[in-house]
Chains A and B, each alone.
Chain A
Amino acid sequence: MSSTTMNSTHPLIEVDHLAVRFTTPNGGVVEAVRDVSFALHRGKTLGIVGESGSGKSQTALAMMGLLPPNGAVTGVARYDGRDLLTLKPAELNRIRGDRVAMIFQDPMTALNPFLTIERQMTEVLQLHRKLSRKQAFEQAVAMCEAVRIADARRRIKMYPHEFSGGMLQRVMIAMALLCEPDVLIADEPTTALDVTVQAQIIELLRDLQRDLGTAIILITHDMGVVASLCDDVMVMYGGRTMEYGSAAQVFSQPAHPYTIGLLDALPHLDDDGDAPLRAIAGNPPSGGAAVLGCAFAPRCAVAEERCASLRPELLTFDDADGSQRRRACHLPIVELPGLRTGNRVGEAV
């Protein structure tokens, strides 16, 4: 049900009614992800955005079978028709790292400090591709060159601490792409980086996707990064999908008060920067408390009485460009506040 690609082929990734619950040591239950569904086609990019605690990272970890022991997942997460959530560990291990790869947020902690980059990269190839150490080395060097690590043949023999943050993130990307995966899940791949390095990484992901046809799930809190890379975007809040549609449409005509709030709160370079920012009042939900109505209602500027008690359904409507959009809000779109003028898409050009 990808909104931009309504072609006849099956989506590569299909997630249906995914939910993640954690039991806390004192017997409490935290619902981190509630009823999330999305689909992703080959060569496309889906952005999942939301603030901390919105459940975006847990969605990815659940798909990859990487939840901690106190986490339980329900629903379906199909890769190429097979449900990742019901696979045996051995079967999952054959897919994980090979067909579906993940880039973690913090490259400094995601790599093993005791092993050289070479050792960590060739391990993947030896395991999944049954390559010899020598073949694996050559391929690892080639991939490091592809992500533009200069002097790769020498640098690959170094340890993680000898690299800068930007370089390590490239190593992470190179490692994830070694087996030319069909799907790349990138959890905040540029958050720890400077804007100049971030721009390089974005360009790199765009090139690699063009060359290899990889489908990317990009998890981020940065609307700018989403706009640079994504075909579709899903906005999450309090573990639920608030809005889901084609990026071009969601950015130009957001149909949920939370999406509008997120875009408005963003400081904009093309603005004169004199007017105050439009902040969203209140704090993000802590996740533990069960929410009866809309999760965003306590912070929503246009919330009505029913919003606090009745949860809005995620309903589908047709967008201006023929793609489909889903949104979960009681209020009709015409009654939502407009975007702050400085943030209007297209007018800045």
Chain B
Amino acid sequence: MSNIARSAFSLAALLLVAGATPASAASSEADFKAAFGAAEAANKQAGVLRNQWTVTAGALAEAKKAADKGDFDAAVASSKEAEALARASIFQAESEKDAWQALDIH
């Protein structure tokens, strides 16, 4: 198994575990701000790599909307989804630095 494939399987497992972990307590505004900040930072990094995903922006917007309504549980959940998406886009950009050559007609 290539390193890229191994990393992708690890990412899949991590995302499943993260998604399956139940929230133990109601989220606060501070929790939202921390989660949203982390997601924005990851998405910014994807932007530097010129590889942002539209769904990341969508999840960030959902998080903001939920926070504006005072629903911080939903806001934190959307922020975490946005961060996971941003990290996946970073992973994609990094792995494609070499992987693109597999498709090249030459």
Q: Do A and B come from one complex?
A: no
